[in-house]
Chains A and B, each alone.
Chain A
Amino acid sequence: MIRPVRPMLRDAGVLLLLALLPALLSAWLHPNRPAWSWHPPAVAEVDLRTVQQWHAVLWVDARGAKDYSQQHIPGAISLNETEWERLLPEFLLAWQPGRPVVVYCNSEQCNASHEVAARLKRELNIGNIRVLKGGWAAWQEAHP
């Protein structure tokens, strides 16, 4: 026997409302609730497929010196906030107005690429700058 749609929708609505109550209580009272704050990134992300269609890109490796020395995207410049002042001149020598700058760090979980990109944008007024979505892990996946 097929039940009418309206009572089913009503039941579904009631269940959703009932689910909302403990969810709100949990969000308010739970001792282990996650942090709520979220700020949109200052620099937009771009995927590897899109970057590969661009004519010329200046890659910036925001990982630590050890990771960079082990392996990096060919032609990438090392620039991280631990040694910002020492590394910045090399970036400036390589930078060309109008040439897109793409910053990466290890993976989706790291935020060094966003921080380096935001700082380049803020301190050098570089407009054409993006963060590589998925970072070095995405590059490795595409270049096994």
Chain B
Amino acid sequence: MRLLRLLCFFSLLLPLLGRGALVWETRQVILPVRAGDKEAVGLFPFKNTGKAAVTITDIRASCECTAAELAQRTYAPGEAGAIRVVFTVGERTGPQDRIITVSTDDAAEPAIQLRLLVDIPNLLSYSAKMVYWPVGGQAGEKSIDVSAAGDARIAVLELKEIVPAQATVRIETVEAGTKYRVFFRPGRVDLPWMATATFNVRLEDGGQHSFILYALAK
């Protein structure tokens, strides 16, 4: 019985020794991204510290927006490598959290999870991107707040066009440079329609941008 207890105890200690041959410099990379960047690239360097070669059999990312590249699949003892991860920014905004699962033939650690953190800054933020009126309901005015994010300051915010012209638009300054309220007043809401309103923004640093808000009767 005593022997059995000892065996149980030492078997419980075994997980402490469970360390894969691939030692990673880091398992989490925070990628700096600026507004307007198309993609961001991160590196996960590693080294085979074991006594046998290790083959990376598969690399899978939790999003199609994240592509992982590897120069070679098999790493001899003492050999170092790196997984290069390309994150496509696309039209994503805000914090992004991606998991990359690396499968190997290393029995001690056959699956390794790497984490990619990206915070995509916004120049502007919106209380919503759409206003909508129920068909046959009240055709009252509705609004969306547009704010400058971070250190950005708005010099000019103006309507470029609304297509089709199913609603009129007016812009009110809430806090000069940082917060504006865009009001939509529909012409009629007895039939369904959808209008696309495009706005131009000039920032105090000279940057020019445009954004779209939607107005619908449904």
A residues at B contact (CB < 8 Å): 11, 15, 18-19, 22-23, 25-26, 30-32, 34-35, 63-64, 67, 80-85, 88-89, 92-93, 95-97, 109-112, 115, 119, 123-125
Contact = CB atoms under 8 A, between A and B. Distances in A.
Contact of B92 (A25, A63, A81, A96): A81
13 contacts: A15-B8, A25-B16, A31-B19, A34-B113, A80-B90, A81-B91, A82-B64, A82-B91, A83-B90, A89-B194, A97-B218, A111-B63, A112-B65
B113 A35 contact: yes
A18 B194 contact: no
Given A92-B130, A109-B62, A124-B128, A35 B194 contact: no
A52 B19 CA distance: 46
A52 B28 CA distance: 40
Contacts of A93: 194
A89 B65 CA distance: 22
A53 B134 CA distance: 26
B64 A112 contact: yes
B129 A124 contact: yes
Contact of A26 (B16, B24, B113, B115): B16
Given A85-B212, A92-B214, A110 B62 contact: yes
A7 to B, nearest CB: 11
Interface string B1-21: 000010011001101100110
B128 A123 contact: yes
Contacts of A30: 16, 19
Interface in B83-109: 88, 90-93, 96-97, 101, 109
**In this complex, which of A26, A35, A81, A96 has the most chain B Cβ atoms within 10 angstroms of its Cβ?**
A81
A32 B88 CA distance: 27
Contact of A32 (B63, B64, B112, B130): B112
A96 B20 CA distance: 52
B44 interface: no
A56 B68 CA distance: 39
Contacts of B63: 110-112
Nearest to B13: A22
Contact of B90 (A19, A22, A81, A123): A81
A141 to B, nearest CB: 19
B128 A125 contact: yes
B62 A97 contact: no
A80 B32 CA distance: 22
B188 interface: no
A95 B192 CA distance: 12
Nearest to A89: B196
Given A15-B9, A123-B128, A83 B109 contact: no
A64 B64 contact: yes
B88 A22 contact: no
B27 interface: yes
Given A81-B91, A92-B214, A123-B130, A32 B20 contact: yes
Nearest to B15: A26
B82 interface: no
A26 B16 CA distance: 6
